A and B are shown apart, each in its own frame.
Chain A
Amino acid sequence: MGEFKVHRVRFFDYMPSAIRAMAFNSHTERLALVRADGALEIFNFADHYFQEKVIPGQDGRAVEALCWVGQRLFSAGLNGEITEYDLENLRPRYTVEAYGGPIWTIGSNKQGTLLMVGCEDGTVKMFEILKERIQFQRNLERQKGRIVSLSWHPSGTLIAAGMMDMIRIFNAETGKEMQHDPESREVVVWSVAFLSDYTIISGDSAGKVQIWDGLTGTLVRTHLVTKWDVLCLSVSQDESSLIAGTSEGTVVQFQFISSTVDQQEEEWVRTRTFKNHSHDVRALAHTETAVVSGGMDTQLVVRPLLDKVEKNTQESAMRKIALPHRSLVCCAKKAGLLLFQFPDHLEVWRVGESDGHGEENTHTHTHTHTHTHYLILPSPSSSSLQVSKLPKDLCLGHQLCFSSDSTKLFASSRHSSVIVVALNQLECKYLHTLKPKSGESRLALFFSSSYFQLDKLSIVAIETTVTIYGSVCLQLHCTVPIYSSCPTAIAIHPTTSHLVVVHADQQIFEYSLVQKEYTEWSRKLQKQGLHSLWLERDTPVTHVTFSLKNPAHIILHDMFMFCIIDQSLPLPESKTLLYNQMTLRSLPEQERIRHSHAFKICKNFKHVMCVSLLEDHSLVVVERPLLDMMSQLPAPVRQKKFAT
């Protein structure tokens, strides 16, 4: 493959914010996750845990709790508002003021007709869920302290509310308080769970998980789990397993099992302890096969339960999702500029010259928006960034793209449309809106443009559909056959005009835009199948680029490696070594050819954010080491470690 001069960039100090709340929808297998800055992320657990959607946060909107009602997603926060999200257009649909002070918790009944929120002023407010909005119904009996946690009994008649020092049980129909289970000393009941057999399980700030009889209000068992707080609880669908997250970073599992083999009588027994976090576990979700946890250390951890999945399969591997599944770095290849996207500002850096000791980069520009909703790309030819007033229609864009001659700018807009803007030195002018055939109202997630036979093409990928438009004639060119998995990276080859699509299940397709069919190489790849080690990787490919010198080379990367696919070489057999770079080096020249295959993988770099090939054939690798990220976190709860 040859050698590259590598610009190793480690100064992109991107810092994701802490995970605040989580909700799992078992029907659609989507996990909604909200971070401390209010950003909402949707993960598709059915499709290799791919981060499908991101809705950026807003200032002053700290979300405390999330709740799925069918396909609809509601959130509530300390600003006292309830928000429903528009998951197609990736924005909040509307907000409703609850008038009860900060909201600590939100929940819905099993039927999906009512929504309740627990407020600072001690009220539990019920909202009726209508088709388009929610409407306030009534208040339950007002309490003295704030309502920190709520749980609805599956039958819908009873509600357990965790408060300061006590748990109260309300009748959901009458709103009357039925009884309360007082705690002895000052504790906050951070989380409650009401099971169908009228058992209430509470987790509190005294570090206890307590099991109550909800009918009589008596304490059944106390499990002291930690010296600090138990912050969250989650019960599995079949109510046979319960997980509790603590501020020590541990997740403790309880199981409802019979004490003796033959007897039916079952009880909650503490079983496993998972320690995958260094900080507070603030949010938990118990899926059918796994424990999903997230917290202050910003990582989302999916820990499969080994008794529910097949051993030694891809499913049984633990996943830690630390970096977003999209590219936050752009590279202007000619100018050698790097654009880093932060949640609230942009940074532009120029790739400098190295004297052999280290990289010299100059920070050229910082561009600050209030909240960056969209991506700005340095135009490929210009030497500096052009900033000018954009037309009004561009106010909500999620993706931006320049045409290859820098005369046009494409921006994704609502209802799957793409706005085309003409650019010149001074101003930009709205040209056209590309609209999809069908009346789908989803937002475009990816797109890219290319220069091909003087016709400019742009491609749009919406979830699993990839559509190609001709941008001169501004018409639909063709649609790539639909594949079941989400595309994670898309690019058009600048010379051969082949479209390369990489999907979340690690499949790679190459589609010829001229013949409007899959290329020969892609067919061969599908026929032979990818190497099992390639398919076992657990991070998606986030960026695809091409070598200008050698058109047969495709460069792509995920979090732990970058790979150059040489289309001229044979594909690896299932039995051959995939990571063979080191063995090749030790072989003599003639042998080397026999053993080499198309996938050249380099694992020298860890936590890669971007790999790009510059015009001068040097490689830019942007890394964000996890250790750097960890060191920026606040100090965790102090813990006595053995022998310290």
Chain B
Amino acid sequence: MKRNRFEMEILKHRLLVDPNYANNTWKILEHAIMDILTNHKLGTLSFENLYRHAYEMVLHNFGEKLYSGIVTTMTSHLSGISKLIEDAQEEFFLEELNQRWADHNKALQMILNILMYMEIAFIPRTHKTPILELGFNLWRDIVMPRTRLRDTLLELVYRERNGEVINRELMRNIIKMLKDLGSSVYDEDFEQPFLEVSADFYSLNSSLSLIENMALLDMIVNDKYEDLGMQYNLFRRVPAGLSIVRDVLNLYIWDTGKQLVADLERLKDPVNFVQCLLDLKDKFDKNISLEFNNDNTFQNALNSSFEYFINLKPSSPEFISLFVDDKLRKGLKGLSEDGVEVLLDRVMMLFRYLQKKDMFEMYYSLHLANRLSSGKTISIGDERSLIDKLKTECRCQFTSKLEGMLIDMKTSQDTSVGGED
């Protein structure tokens, strides 16, 4: 409201003498916009100058002329681009499309910045399409060679399935472009046809080819989260697809876990071992939540794998207790209150996997007793916190024993210090 009142004041103060004002100003902007679209003369264009011209046009009620001018200019430019892409040779088609799309995005952003005043002061009240959306729509309607693109993408998928190496990054960029253009574009131009082709493929092949397995593995091992996410979304809709991905993930988890547990070096360093366990769990949790949509079946698979190989190792209960011991002795320094909570919760998570919980109990009591008697525990609060968590988890006798130890400790402290609470 306040803005409009001042705009009117501003208009009153401006003298509009030149009848050609609008045309001349538009001409200036038109040239600049074309320079931006064609990537010319960068570094010589003055932002302030252009911004001011656009600002004044809108202020003087020439917003309509400005807006339609932009539509026209972009449309004619993109028609040229469309032709270029059409003429592109087979091997260069995707690259050309990709490059032009990147150029278009950059130009759009620059144009938006210059025309920001129109975007916020003119477009909303006239209900016109905002600039970025306009740019995307024009691209979609004028440039996008939809049939050829679809066919090219499917061809690539086919080639990869037959063991050829394709440019995955390029493909990823193109698919991202489809998504940016609107989910319906992505659906129609890629996902639907892809699924049709895949259904055929998978019904012919009951399991993934070796190449696909390796590709999946590569993604998992190297944390290629985006790739994984894409794969998951595609596989999800194909009947056997999901269990295949799950199997690959499972195998990988088992394998890694078993290796970790068998590693003789690690046997010497319990703290390190437990830390590795935690890191591994983290990685897979992240995988599952980011890529696999927190899919329950995946989560269950992860849990059973973890349970298996943690218990494969007879010294796990002791090691986990030693890990806690180490942390509590060092005082969990540098961790915020939340950080402490998180760490203790993660220890609890490992505890839950243990089958021989009584062994853990034995070691834990031992280690706690040591800490208390040698005065090596830094924070009674943290000790308390962990015991409470154990209590919630298992409601067994040993937690009351542990509590008893803490109380005894406190009592003896109070007695020696003289009752300081």
State yes or no: do A and B come from one complex: no
Task: Give chain A's interface residues, CB within 8 Å of chain B.
Answer: none
Task: Give chain B's interface residues, CB within 8 Å of chain A.
Answer: none
